[in-house]
Every structure is written in C-alpha cells, then in structure tokens.
Chains A and B, each alone.
Chain A
Amino acid sequence: MSIRLKYLFTPFILFFAAQILGQTVTLSGYIKDAANGETLIGANIFNGENQAEGTSTNAYGFYSLSLEPGTYTIAITYLGYNNFTQVIDLRENLTRDFELSQGAVLKEVTISAAEAEKDANVQSTQMGKVELPMENIKKLPALLGEVDILKTLQLLPGVASAGEGGSGFYVRGGGPDQNLVLLDEAVVYNTGHLLGFFSVFNADAIKNTTLIKGGMPARYGGRLSSVVDVQMSDGNYRNYQAEGGVGIISSRLTVQGPIQKDKSSFLVSGRRTYALDLAQPFLEGGTFEGTNYYFYDFNAKLNFKLSDKDRIFASGYFGRDVLNFRQPERDFNFDLPYGNTTATLRWNHLFSDKLFMNVSAIYNDYKFAFTGGQEDFVFQVRSSVEDVNLKVDFDYYPNPEHSIKYGVNTTYHKLTPNTASAQNGDVSFESGFQPKYAQETGFYIEDDYKLSPQLSLNGGIRFSIFSQLGPFTSKIDGQEFGRFEAGKTYTGFEPRLSGKYTVSKDMSLKAAVTFTNQYLHLVTNSGSTLPTDIWVPSTELIEPQQGVQYAFGIFKNFQDAMWETSVEFYYKDLQNQIDYADDYVNDFGREIEESFVFGEGRAYGAEFFLRKNRGKLTGWVGYTIARTERSFPDIEGGRWYPAVYDRLHDLSVVANYEINDKLELGASFVYGSGRWFTPFQSFYFIEGNVAPEYGPRNSAQLPDYHRFDLSLTYTPKAKVDRSFKGSWNLSFYNIYNRKNPYFIFYDATINREVGTTQLEAFQVTIFPIIPSISYSFKWNQNAK
C-alpha cells in the first residue's frame, strides 16, 4: 500500500526533478521539547554558517534538510526555547532527532519572537502568517479570566472582532464563514460557547495556533479568507503532568503523561462552567425551578511511536452547550443542546529521509437540537453538519532550495438544515426538509522554492471538485438523484503564489496572489457565533463563493530584530457572495436557501504592525485601515454598501511588562470604527401598533468601539515542592468602563386612551468593567 502510494505521486515529483536533482545528503528527524518529548511545530533548523540553507519542522515536528556532504554547525531555533547548535559531520544520509529545552526567553512574553528567531518575519516567504504558542496567549488579559485563543487573534492587524466580548472574527473583510478553523485537522464549524462569548478551545489542551490571513498555501482549501490551524498538545512522553485552574465561571483540568516512556503518551482535558449550577438552590420552588445552562469541553489525545518511521495519533474533542429551560407551573419546558465533535486518526510515515507522509481519517460534526413543548405538544428543530474526511499529504524535501508538499483531501458532507417537527397527541408533522449531501475533493501541490539568496517563491495550485450528491430532487427540472449519485458539480483551479525578495538581512519585500473557492456557506448578520447558525452547501441554486486576494508587504526589523515592523496592503475581489434577502424571516416552513440573494464583494486595506520583541516591556501595535463593501442586485438595485465586516479603523495595542520574577503586568487596548447597521428611518401605524420602516442597508454606524484591559499575574516561588507551580491572575476587562453599544433597539409606548406615543431608542451595553480572578496550577512529576 505504502509503496503504491509513493508511486502514485511520482509524476508530481518528476515535475520538479530537473531542478532538484543534485549531489546531496540528508539530515532528517524530529525536533522535540526536551521536557516532555512533544514535537515542535515550525522549529527552524539550518546551517549555522549560512541561514539560507535551512528548513523548518512540519505540522508533525518532522524536518528534512539536504546539504552537500560536509561538516556543518547545525543550528536549531524555536520560539521560547534555548538555541541549539551541534557540529555534525554529514557524509551520508543521517536521521537525528533533536531536543530543545525551554529557556529564559520564555519570560519575554506575548507573541514575541525569541532572539534566535529574529528576522524570521523577514526571511519567511509566507505572508500574513502568525504562530501563537499557548504560553504567550495565557498571559494576556482575558474576559472573566477565560483564556481564549480566538480573542487573541482579534488583536492582530487585519483581524476584527465580530462583536463585543465574542470570539467570532472577520479577516480582511471576509465573513465569519470564510475562516477555516481546524482542530487537529478537523473542521470546527461553530467555534463559540455561550453565544460566542467564549471559544471552544480549552487553552490547556492546545499546543499551537497558526493564523494565515493572506497567501494561503495550496494545501488549505474550502474557505476564502483565512486559516486558523489549532493543534492539540500531544501529551507528555516523559513525565506525568497535571494542570488546571479555577475561575469565576469555570474550572478546568488537564492530565497527560507517558503510556510507555518516549514511545507513547496520552492527554485528557476537561472544562466545565458552573455558574448556574451554583444558582440552583435559589431557583427551587420558583417559577423556573430546574432551569440550567452550562457548557463543557472534553479533549483527548493518544500518540504511539510504532517505529522510527511510523507514528499514530488519535485525538478528539467533544463539547456541548446545554440549556434546560423549565417552567413547571405551566408544564412548559425545552432543552437546547448544541456543540461540536471531532475525531482525528493520523498516521505519519517516513518513506525516506526526504519523503514524509501523513494519512488522516477525520470525523467532525456540529449538532444543534431544540426540543420543547407543553403537555402533549412537542416541537423539535434539528440542524447539523457532519463530515467524514480522508486526506493524504506528502512533504518532500529534495534539497535546501525546495520544500514540496502535495496531496489529496476528500470530504463527504452531510448538512441537515433546520428540520422542524411537531407532535400533538396522535397528530405529528414535519417540515420535510431532507439533509443535503456533497463530496468535496481537493488535489494540491506546492513548492517553497529558494531561487537565490535574495529571491524565493512559494507556488502552488489546488484543484477542487465539489458535487451535490443524492438523494435529492432537482428544484430546477425535477430530476431525481439516488444515493451517492452526483448532481450539480463544480470544479475550480486555485493557483497560489507568494514571493519574497530579500533587500537586506533585516528587510524584505513580499507579494502574494491567492485564488480560493468556497463550497460551504454560512449566512449570518449577527455579531456572535450563534448555535442556530445554519451551514448550507453549494447546490444547483447556490454557486461556490470565489475570491482572489492580492497582497504586498514590506518587512523591516531594527536593532537586531528587537523592533519588528511591517506594512501590508491587500485587495480582495469576491464573487458569489451570499446574504439574506431584505424580507428574510426565520421561518421553519421554508428552506433557508430560498431567502438568499447573491452578489459580489470587495475589500482593501493596509495593515501596519510594530512589535517589540525583547526587554522587560514587550508587545505590539497593530493598526488597520480598510474598506469592505458588498453589492447585491436584489438589494437596493446593487448599490455598493459597507459590509457588516467593514472597519475603517482598527487599532490594537498589546503590552506585557515584567515587574519582577513574580509579577507580570499585561495590558491591551483596542479601538475600532463603529459597526454598521441598518437604521430605522421612520415609523408608521398599522392596527394601532408602531412599526419601523428601515433605511438603506448598513447606512448607519454604532459609536466607535474602544476598550482597555489590564491583568496582573502573580507567580510565587515554590519553596518546598518545585514540581508544583501555581499562579494567580487578576484581570480587569474594560477598565475605564466604556459603554460600548452591543446593539440598538427602539421602544414604542402607546397610550391609546390619551392618544400619545412615546418613541425611544436605546443602546445596550453588555460588558461594563468586569474584574475577575483565577488561579492556575501546574504539577509536573519530575520537575525538581
């Protein structure tokens, strides 16, 4: 099987053979954390005397570096770890794993490059990519003390928050459905708990997060705007370890350790909220006795090193929000559970020291259900997205000039729209909407090619095929399609090209062009990630969204990379964009796609970034000036209007200050232009009620948004048991109590007897200043 797979992709390899054949020997292996044996993603390994001869570890920690035979000082660098150098006599192919230990630079917090990684932003060909190690994210101020990777992403230029306190985000003018969010390669369709105020990612179980907002490599597909690739920790291969925390609304615990030392490991992690559990005694005997709400997450991962060439990873996530509403007096109740499940099984295999393969089998779903009723009447609504995904990826490292990736990914989608049913005694009825099925397949190949010390290119192409599968009946001609029978099929070539020209050691120019297709769609006008969000596939009635992004950037570092700066410009052209028609009504009797209108979009802007990487004070300033517009023929005759994602100005200032060994101060300030909304233009009377007539779509703005958060982390020195380490975090969200509007509503009070009507509009602020305190701990078996 493996041999066949190898030959299956031989033609791709031959394509590059003319350029890449040469007399080289290869150093390959894994780079790991010395403390726990976990592989390190994106660690740089290079010839210490010529940094251009280098590569970085892939998503599984594997590297392959081909050099001419000789003696080299091999250098390895990774964010937050001590530099590693070793002289290696490289006369023949050599497999070598390296281990890095965490170093003092870890204390230089925030999303900082360690000293050894200086100029990585300048040297990398990739544009708009940011890696976020969890250790850095955990030190920023957090709402109610809940560390949240998605909210940290919102502090980066080009990434805008979708709403107050929420984890939803817009990238470079793209909608929330245009972000591909992956957890161990499984798509997470709904990233929010509690209406999006918290993300589903439990920080303790996460190893690494990568955001790609421009120049998306060809290995990623299916979304127009960005990739957020979240990887769970593998589990400690060496020691048993436990960490957790207690916060105002939730507690969490993660346990990990070796199953067989250095060969296999496990990780289990859980989080649950309990605020309403604590309130249960107060609800007893009241109108809403038994009503409760909570959410929880459960992560688990197992890793087995079968041989030097084979590894298996099994990981999964299960999370739910649960609302149980009870009104015993009226026998009225409903249950509303919703959440994601992911399961990933991966096999890493080394065909040779230059050819790495990963095979993944992935299942993921998002399910929503509402079941409610009164006495004999029961009403139920269900919606879901389920994927079964198989993928094969190859990493081929022929020489230091080329790093080639190619593979195929096929996904079977089952999307159940809002299917409603009701039962009243013996009578039952259903909306009759059938699940929609589809197959999405993508082939890709990409090459990171260093043409010269100054010029490098990352070129690739993705070919995608999407078919609407039966059973379904065509709404156009009534043709019936049987199970797995392909109906409407879309294909797309998606070329990706980015290039870097190195002006000097600390300055480069980069440019990228990215074509993308998107076959699954979510239309929402809300600023939150809602459990009721419905994903719909491309069908004979809904064409794929298409996008092309042009980006250009200047990257320059100062003072030995202590200061890092960049300016990036982008322009996006978006076709087949989807929105709700003006008369959209959330109606269970009508398929949601019947409420869609189709149009085009454009987004353009400039992002400015300044970061300080070293010293007691670290942090960054990101500023984006941008426009995002949409035009739909069926909305006001195609008038271009600002999208709800439009933010003319978006500013983030993030700082960390190490007061001493025990105390650390974190701060963040955000400012953004007010969100666009469709205002009421006038009022009129019908049947004695006052109704609003709306003005043009998105023709008014809420007041500008700004907020300042502060946190103080106290980590006392362990006096006796150094294996145990605890820290206290005091956070203030919105410290100057800015009343940012969450939404606007109007209220009409009619006095029919006197004949007066009072009209008022209000802005609702949901988060004033919110202090919180949390305690976190970490126990490590052998950390003496």
Chain B
Amino acid sequence: MKLNYALYIILGFALLATACQDPFVPENINEEPDYVIESFVEAGEGTMPAYLLISQSVPFLSEIGPDLLFDIFVKDAEVDIYDGDKTVRLTEVCLSDLPVEIREEFGAQLGLDTDNLDFDYCLYVDILDQLDRDFGKTYDLRVRVGEDEMTATTTIPTLVPLDSIYFTEVPGDPIDSLAQLWVNIDDPVGPNFYRYFTDDGSGRLVTSAFGSVTDDVFFDGQDFDFPLTKGSVRGAESDPSTFGFFATGDTTTVKWCTIDAIHYDFWFTYEFNLNNQGPFATYTRVNHNIDGALGIFGGLAVDQRTLLVEK
C-alpha cells in the first residue's frame, strides 16, 4: 500500500466539503510525437508468438475518436527480432484479417473485447512462430519506420513457477459468492521480478489496478504465500466491497510471469506514474527500455493456469 493513500484520507477529512475542481486547459507544449512500442516475447506452455504494437503519442486533446485512434497505429514498419541464432521479421496483421477463433484468442491475450470493438487493431506478429522462445535467452529488437530506427534488448529469465494456487474466504465478513485468490511460490535466492494477469471475468487477461509487478525484496529466498487481486480494466466501475475477489463457480485464468529487472522497472515506474497524481505526488518519468521510442520490449517466462474458483 502506498502511504500516499493514507495521506489522501487525511486530506479528505481536511477538505470534507470545501474542495472543488474546475477544468484546466494546459498550454499545448506538445512537440513532435514519439513512437510508442509494446512488444513481448514469451516462453512457456501455451504462450503467444512474439508481437509488437507501434503507435504514436498524441497531444492533449479533449477527445480521441476511433479515427484518430486508428491513425496513431503505425503502418508499414519493419520489425525484426533476433533470438541469438536468427532474425525474424514480424508480419503486420490487423485483427480483422484473422480468423474469428484466432482473433478472439489473440484479443483476449491483448485484453481486448473483440466482439464489441468498433475499430481495428493492427500489430506485428511472428505469425509463423519462428523465434526460439525459451527461458534464459536474450532478444534484440529493431524497428524501422521510414528513416526512423528504434532498438531494444530483453531477456526471458528462468521461470519461477507457481507452486500452488488456491482460493479462500474473502477477508472480513464471509461472502458465499466470492473468493480470495492465493498463490504460493518458492522464490530463489537473489533478485527476482514478477508480473501477473488474471481473467477479468470475460475471458480477457488484464492486470490489477493495485499494480501488476513485484520484486522479492520482502520475501527473497522464501517459500511464500500471498494473495492476488483480480485483474480489472482500468477505469471500469467497481464495488469497493467486492473489488479484487473472484466469483465462486467461475473458471478463471492466472498468468504468472517471471521478468527481468529492466522489464520490471518499466512497469513499476509506468504504474506508479499512472497512479501518482495529486498534491503529494512527485512526477515520475517512466523508464522506457527502447532507444528511440517510448514503451517496452519485454521478455516473459510464463506459467499460465486455468482453474475453477472454489473455496
């Protein structure tokens, strides 16, 4: 828990009925748009081929519609990933080009509800799954858009798998229809970094609003049980009394990933940046790991399980 939350509670008491907010129009200081890359190479059972999304940052606008959203995706890029033995060029595909079953599966992995999507997502995919995706390997990314070139490197670390997954009663007053998810890992000695996703109830794998990454500073080398909060789409309405719990009787998926330090640092600063606004905030620049662009090129060692929610 960030201590700032506690400070906001105090502030809430202080300003019980006095605070108000008004629109603020910032000076438009946007310069040239930046390229934004999210690209991942996964290893583990049932994982996706390597893929990359490339878009551009946008200035402060009151509303970004489907047209602009579609336009910010960069087309005709050359995307190459080198796995130590060979270089694989990723193919540009749009979701609308894919067969329905693949599109739904791919969309779910990307956290998209493809049935209700009114615009087309285009991305670059190792469509023939040629990359050697394995634990302990290093990958180099090179992206070219016209004269612009972007590069990055990542590794897929050794997987630290989930030893067990189980559900318990929710804390506080019991609720029959809900359960708390727990996992156990045997954390190896030395710094390790983790990221996780869960099914949000609709089949999409999404991260938790409380943060998706952790290091092992507090449990280095220990056999450790800890609760995981159910993932949810950021900004979606939620009930604080049931937030983060799983519906009993449902089938859910947990995607547990071991990542390297640079990859962790990106998400750690990114999520801190997203959550860190207000009078007590210190602005935080995200530690992007791509030379020439914003974003992340990350490797993930994945342990993905699907199970029934039962206490």
Report how far A590 CA is from B217 CA in the complex, Å: 9
Q: Which of B219, B227, B269 is within 8 Å of A427, CB to CB?
A: B219
Nearest CB to that of A682 among chain B residues?
Answer: B57
A374 CB–B CB distance under 8 Å: yes
Asked if A685 is at the interface of the complex by the 8 Å CB criterion, the answer is yes
A716 vs chain B, min Cβ distance (A) = 31
Report chain A residues within 8 Å CB of B278: 743, 745
Q: Which single member of B4, B21, B226, B294 contacts A764 (CB below 8 Å)? A: B21
Residue picked from B15, B59, B116, B287, most chain A C-beta under 10 Å:
B15
Q: How far is the CA of A327 from the CA of B224 in the complex (A)?
A: 26
Distance of A321 from chain B, by nearest CB (Å): 8
B280 touches A197 (CB 8 A): no
- A interface residues (Cβ-Cβ under 8 A, vs B): 163, 194-195, 197, 275-276, 287, 293, 321, 323, 325, 327-332, 334, 336, 370, 372, 374-375, 377, 379, 381, 420, 422, 424-425, 427, 429-431, 525-528, 530-532, 580, 582-590, 678-689, 691-695, 699-700, 739, 741-746, 748-750, 752-768, 770
Q: Mark B276-293, 1 if CB is under 8 A from A, else 0.
A: 111111111111000000
Additional 20 contacts, C-beta under 8 A, given A756-B63, A756-B64: A163-B279, A195-B10, A293-B9, A325-B9, A331-B172, A526-B279, A532-B7, A532-B280, A584-B282, A590-B217, A679-B27, A679-B29, A685-B55, A686-B36, A742-B279, A743-B281, A745-B277, A753-B117, A754-B118, A759-B60
> Are A684's CB and B22's CB within 8 A?
no
B272 CB within 8 Å of chain A: yes
Nearest-Cβ distance from residue B158 to partner chain A, whole angstroms: 21
In Å, the complex CA distance between A580 and B241 comes to 36
Which one of B60, B62, B119, B282 contacts A680 once the chains associate, using CB atoms below 8 Å? Answer: B60
Bitwise interface map of B from 244 to 278 toward A, beta carbon under 8 Å scored 1, else 0: 00000000000000000000010011101110111
Contact of A768 among B18, B233, B235 (CB under 8 A): B18
Complex A-B: 11 CB contacts under 8 Å: A194-B10, A331-B173, A589-B215, A684-B55, A684-B56, A684-B295, A686-B296, A746-B277, A752-B113, A756-B65, A764-B19
> Considering the chains assembled together, what is the distance between the CA atoms of A163 and B14 in angstroms?
15
A195 & B14 in contact (Cβ 8 Å cutoff): yes
B18/A766 in contact, CB under 8 A: yes
Q: Which one of B31, B58, B170, B233 lies within 8 Å of A684 (CB-CB)?
A: B58
**Closest B residue to A294 using CB positions:** B13
Residues of B within 8 A of A694 (CB): 283, 285
Q: Which of A420, A586, A745, A752 contacts B4 (CB 8 A)?
A: A586
Among candidates B13, B222, B241, residue contacting A276 with C-beta atoms closer than 8 Å: B13
Which chain A residues border B225 with CB–CB below 8 Å?
424-425, 427
In Å, the complex CA distance between A749 and B18 comes to 25
Contact yes or no, A328 B22, CB < 8 A: no
Complex formed: what's the CA distance from A10 to B117 in Å?
88
CB interface residues, B 156-178, toward A, < 8 Å: 170-173
Nearest A residue (CB) for B218: A429
Instruction: Give every chain A residue within 8 A of B102 (Cβ-Cβ).
Output: none
Residues of B contacting A692 with CB < 8 Å? Answer: 273
Contacts of B173 on A, CB cut-off 8 Å?
329-331
Q: Which 7 A-B pairs have the closest CB atoms?
A: A589-B217, A755-B66, A331-B172, A330-B172, A684-B57, A763-B24, A682-B57
Q: A744-B24, A760-B62 are in contact. Are A195 and B11 (CB under 8 A)?
A: yes
Which of B19, B29, B217, B279 is A700 in contact with, Cβ under 8 Å? B29
Q: Is the CB of A758 within 8 A of B172?
A: no
* A197 cross-chain contacts in B, Cβ below 8 A: 14
Cβ contacts under 8 Å, B69 to chain A: 755-757
* Contacting residue for A693 out of B15, B57, B117, CB 8 A: B57
Q: Does B49 contact A (CB under 8 A)?
A: no
Task: Determine the distance from Cα of A207 to Cα of B283 in the docked complex, in whole angstroms.
Answer: 41
Contact of B21 among A429, A750, A762 (CB under 8 A): A762
Q: Do residues B218 and A336 form an inter-chain contact, with CB atoms below 8 A?
A: no
Q: Is the interface of B mostly helix, strand, loop or mixed?
A: loop
Is B46's beta carbon under 8 Å from chain A?
no
Tell me the complex Cα distance, A362–B217, Å: 38
Residues of chain B within 8 A (CB-CB) of A763 are 21-24
User: Which residues of the other chain, B, contact A688 by a CB distance below 8 angstroms?
Assistant: 110-112, 233-234
Residue of A nearest to B215 (CB): A589
- Asked whether, in the complex, the Cβ of B63 is within 8 Å of the Cβ of A757, the reply is yes
A271 to B65, CA, bound (A): 56
Which residues of chain B are near A287, meaning CB under 8 Å?
A: 240-241
> Which listed residue (B7, B217, B274, B280) contacts A691, Cβ 8 A?
B274
- Minimum CB–CB distance from A234 to chain B (whole Å) comes to 34
Is B189 interfacial (CB 8 A cutoff)? no
Contact A758 B62 (CB under 8 A): yes
> Is there an interface contact between A336 and B33, defined as CB atoms closer than 8 Å?
no
Q: Which residues on A sit within 8 Å (CB–CB) of B268?
A: 585, 587
Residue of A nearest to B14 (CB): A194
Known: A684-B36, A745-B278, A756-B64. A764 touches B58 (CB 8 A): no
Which of B29, B56, B217, B234 interacts with A431 by CB under 8 Å?
B217
Indicate whether A693 sits within 8 Å of B26 (C-beta atoms), given known contacts A163-B279, A370-B3. Answer: no
Q: Is B72 an interface residue (CB 8 A)?
A: yes
Least CB distance, A150 to chain B, in whole angstroms = 17
Return chain A residues, CB-CB under 8 Å to B285: 582-583, 694
For B64, list chain A residues within 8 Å (CB).
756-759
Tell me the bound Cα distance from A683 to B274 in angstroms.
11
- CB proximity of B21 to chain A, nearest CB, Å: 4
From 19 to 57 in chain B, residues with beta carbon under 8 angstroms from any chain A beta carbon are 19-27, 29-31, 33-34, 36, 38, 55-57
A739 CA to B268 CA, complexed, in Å: 35
Which residues from B are CB-within-8-Å of A275? 13
| Residues of B close to A321: CB separation below 8 A | 10
Contact assessment for A585 and B272 in the assembled complex, using a CB-CB cutoff below 8 Å: yes
> Which of A194, A585, A589, A762 lies in contact with B24, CB distance below 8 A?
A762
| Interface of chain B residues 51 through 108 with chain A (CB within 8 A) | 55-66, 69-70, 72
Chain A residues near B36: list those with CB within 8 A: 684-686
CB distance from A558 to the nearest CB of B (A): 43
Closest residue of A by beta carbon distance from B61: A759
The reply to whether B222 and A429 form a contact with Cβ atoms under 8 Å apart is yes
Most buried by B among A195, A746, A755, A756: A755
- CB neighbours (8 Å) of B3 from chain A are 370, 381, 532, 586
A375 vs B170: C-alpha distance in the bound complex, in angstroms? 10
State whether A761 touches B279 (Cβ < 8 A): no
Among candidates B33, B34, B63, B281, residue contacting A758 with C-beta atoms closer than 8 Å: B63
In angstroms, how far is the closest chain A Cβ from the Cβ of B188? 16
Asked if A765 and B20 make an inter-chain contact with CB atoms under 8 angstroms apart, the answer reads yes
Q: Is B61's CB under 8 angstroms from A375's CB?
A: no
Q: Look across to chain A and name the residue whose beta carbon is closest to the beta carbon of B9.
A: A325
A336-B6, A763-B24 given; A753·B118 CB < 8 A: yes
Q: How far is the CB of B191 from chain A (nearest CB, A)?
A: 10
Q: Which residues of A contact B295 (CB under 8 A)?
A: 684, 686
Which A residues lie within 8 Å of B62 (CB)?
Answer: 758-760
- A526-B279, A585-B269, A589-B215 known; A766+B19 contact, CB < 8 A: yes
Enumerate chain B residues within 8 angstroms of A761, measured Cβ to Cβ: 23-26, 60
Which A residues lie within 8 Å of B277 (CB)? 743, 745-746
Q: Contacts A328-B172, A681-B31, A682-B30 hold; do A687 and B10 have CB atoms under 8 A apart?
A: no
Least Cβ–Cβ distance between B193 and chain A, in angstroms: 11
Chain A residues contacting B7 (CB-CB under 8 Å) are: 195, 530-532
